[in-house]
Chains A and B, each alone.
Chain A
Amino acid sequence: MNALMPGEPVSESADRTRASGDRPPAVEVLSAEKVFANGTRALAPIDLSIADGEFLTLIGPSGCGKSTLLKLIANLIEPSDGRLLWWRGEFLQVGQDGRRFAFVFQEPTLMPWARVDANVRLPLELASVAKPKAAPIVAEAIERVGLSKFTRHFPRQLSGGMKMRVSIARALVTNPNLLLMDEPFGALDEITRNKLDADLVRLWWERKLTTVFVTHSIYEAVFLSTRIIVMASNPGRIFRTMTIDQPQPRDEEFRGSPKFAAYCRELSTWLAEASLPSASGGGL
């Protein structure tokens, strides 16, 4: 099994995240693999179940297929073999059940000609929601990311961190059931990044929002996640899994705790192992 626990914190309850019960898992990846047209094997067959309400992080060396896995989960690409289920249904079912995905990328990808509120309103507009109906939702999303004072600003008037907040507000505005984030804070300085991480944890907790997060940062992964998937490359596969069973929502206190340091140390060794050319799957 992949679900090895890190050395020290293993004594803590090995029980799953707060989700579970009889709620169906948000996403099930069933022996899904991805081979690109040029023959590159991006992902070996992967089995993964993401519980509803979980914060799952994918981490690994470059080329380990973590972004490919995220795209599979987002249904942006199709698996070459195997299949995926969302809430135990096919992808078509997701929209019919009124469930929605939202994406946040490394770039904020805002429209430079539109003010903050218009940028946040975009997904609603694309879904043909009337302006008066959208206005309170937009205002609420902007408030949640702490940008109420900047509603009428243009993106160029905002810092990198604030632009990212706008991008997150835009993702929240559709009230998504699954939030997919591909290295969203990778281009930000560490202080801004920590602040955004803390805000993200709070948002995730308040919204009970299933989140799949791709990152390069060990600290970010440990701070945010309920579960971390360490991936290895050639071909991309799950190397090991770490469960971070710590109270929620987490804050700066957790970041300074010895437990946090222990998780980070463990994860760091795993990542180093995963990056070795001889790394073999299954965590042997």
Chain B
Amino acid sequence: MKPLLQSETFVRIAAPLAVGIVLIGMWEVGCRLASIPVYLFPKPSDIYVSLIKNGPSLLRALLVTLRVTLQAFAAAVILGTLIAFMFVQSRAIEVSLFPYAVLLQVTPVVAIAPLIIILVKNTQLSLTICATLVALFPIISNTTLGLRSVDPGLANYFRMNRAGRLKTLIKLRIPGALPYFFGGLRISSGLALIGAVVAEFVAGTGGRSSGLAYEILDAGFTLDIPRMFAALLLITLTGVGLFGAMVFLSKLALSNWHESEIGAET
């Protein structure tokens, strides 16, 4: 067996982990030495204690945020893919609608969230709509690009064999677009979470259906800074988890053939 230190996988996991442990250690020791008060900047141990203490309420908030995020992400994937298919079917559709897709992308969600929250009664739904708007564009643009980036030789081959539109789409365009689509998924999953949190901030709803953003707001009002950090930590972990899931999915689908995933397997 190879010595542990020479193993690529071990180094890839251990090195960033070591950096993290050292940073957290310095944080803890630094706060203690300078005796910084908890309400200004809590130590990692304070955050941990708060995480345990507020566990149930934080977890409930996490579930709320996660639900909005996943709903929005799913809606963005379905809508985005459908729109991309439409764009590819006809240049006229793409030319007339693409500027509006860009408009959607460049308008900050914070700016339209109040409007949507006023228009849509159901808070959950309005939050989901906001997050969907944020997550939609990467799916549209990546999938469209992918569906258009067909190997010209293969496209020619399909044409010479008199393949119809549908067969060309299923056998050639969709498989060829997958790498781009998965690239879009990675960006979009993170954006869905950001959209959900930002929309929640704007909505500022409390009560039973409050998410992590409200936990942060509430912790700020009550100067419970460790709880604020704990909620922040959960949001970060959720984002990392989503990204990891997308990487895994993309590996699952592409590892057999696409260059982007082949290097990783050796």
On A, residues with C-beta under 8 Å from B are: 74, 76, 103, 105, 107, 109, 111-114, 122-123, 125-127, 154-156
Q: Please list 25 pairs of residues, one from A and one from B, whose beta carbons are closer than 8 Å in the complex, sorted by A's number.
A: A76-B160, A103-B157, A103-B160, A105-B153, A109-B151, A109-B153, A109-B156, A109-B157, A111-B154, A111-B172, A112-B257, A113-B176, A113-B178, A113-B256, A114-B175, A123-B161, A125-B167, A125-B171, A126-B158, A126-B161, A126-B162, A126-B163, A126-B167, A154-B256, A154-B257
| B153, B162, B167 — most chain A CB neighbours (10 Å) | B153
Q: Is the interface of A mostly helix, strand, loop or mixed?
A: loop
What residues of B have a CB within 8 angstroms of the CB of A105 in the complex? 153
What residues of A have a CB within 8 angstroms of the CB of B158 in the complex? 126
| B151, B157, B167, B262 — most chain A CB neighbours (10 Å) | B157
A157 to chain B, nearest CB (A): 9
A170 to chain B, nearest CB (A): 9
B258 in the interface, Cβ–Cβ < 8 Å? Answer: yes
Interface range on chain B (Cβ under 8 Å from partner): 20 to 34
19 additional A-B residue pairs with CB within 8 Å, beyond A113-B175, A126-B162, A155-B257: A76-B160, A103-B157, A103-B160, A105-B153, A107-B153, A109-B153, A109-B156, A109-B157, A111-B154, A111-B171, A113-B178, A113-B256, A122-B161, A122-B171, A125-B167, A126-B163, A126-B167, A154-B256, A156-B257
Return the chain B residue nearest A107 by Cβ: B153
Contact for B258 among A112, A114, A127, CB less than 8 A: A112
Q: Top 4 A-B pairs ranked by shortest CB distance?
A: A109-B153, A126-B161, A113-B175, A112-B257
Contact for B154 among A103, A109, A123, A127, CB less than 8 A: A109
What residues of B have a CB within 8 angstroms of the CB of A156 in the complex? 257, 262
What residues of B have a CB within 8 angstroms of the CB of A113 in the complex? 175-176, 178, 256-258
What residues of B have a CB within 8 angstroms of the CB of A114 in the complex? 175
In the complex, which residues 148-207 of chain B have their Cβ closer than 8 Å to any Cβ of chain A?
A: 151, 153-154, 156-158, 160-163, 167, 171-172, 175-176, 178
B179 to chain A, nearest CB (A): 9
A283 to chain B, nearest CB (A): 34
What residues of A have a CB within 8 angstroms of the CB of B175 in the complex? 111, 113-114
In Å, the complex CA distance between A43 and B196 comes to 64
Return the chain B residue nearest A110 by Cβ: B154
